[in-house]
A = this chain, B = another copy of it.
């Protein structure tokens, strides 16, 4: 951020009075531009004993597999975001069954929410951001080609819970990748 989105003047980075963190502030109009984490929301769409994954047609992680998920939009609920992303990326209609995981990714200022969901029919296919969409049983999950660590973590929780016979809500934190 270089300029005030309200009045167009250059912004400076400074701790405002009464605040504790540096913010982008405008000395011309007085606006304070806060930056906050974003929600990435998706679904685990279930069909019989399989789940639906999408292969990414966009960066980052082009060509790798993920659950349908994306940035939550203004004016929607978290469950609506999960259903919208599943429709956009996998052309699939779901019924949300419950929140399944909350994964913090603080080094990129994101919180990831994944819902369990039931596919309403087996009519699905790649949306514009997917190369292909497919149902996987546990033995076929491409563990070494999963796009994001939050998704791999959620899928590990999922298959552990399924083995244990009880699905429960999970939380986790993802640390920055180790530099080699």
Q: Which residues A62-90 have CB closer than 8 A to chain B?
A: 71-80, 88
Q: Mark interface residues in A13-46 (1 if CB within 8 Å of B CB, else 0).
A: 0000010110010000000011111110000000
* Interface bin, chain A: 35 or more
Q: Which of B2, B18, B36, B171 contacts A128 (CB 8 A)?
A: B18
Whether A167 is near chain B, meaning CB under 8 Å from some CB there, is no
Is there an interface contact between A78 and B36, defined as CB atoms closer than 8 Å?
Answer: no
Whether A142 is near chain B, meaning CB under 8 Å from some CB there, is no
Q: CB-CB < 8 A to A111: which residues of B?
A: 39, 72, 78
7 contacts between A and B (CB under 8 A): A5-B24, A34-B71, A36-B71, A76-B106, A77-B173, A78-B104, A99-B102
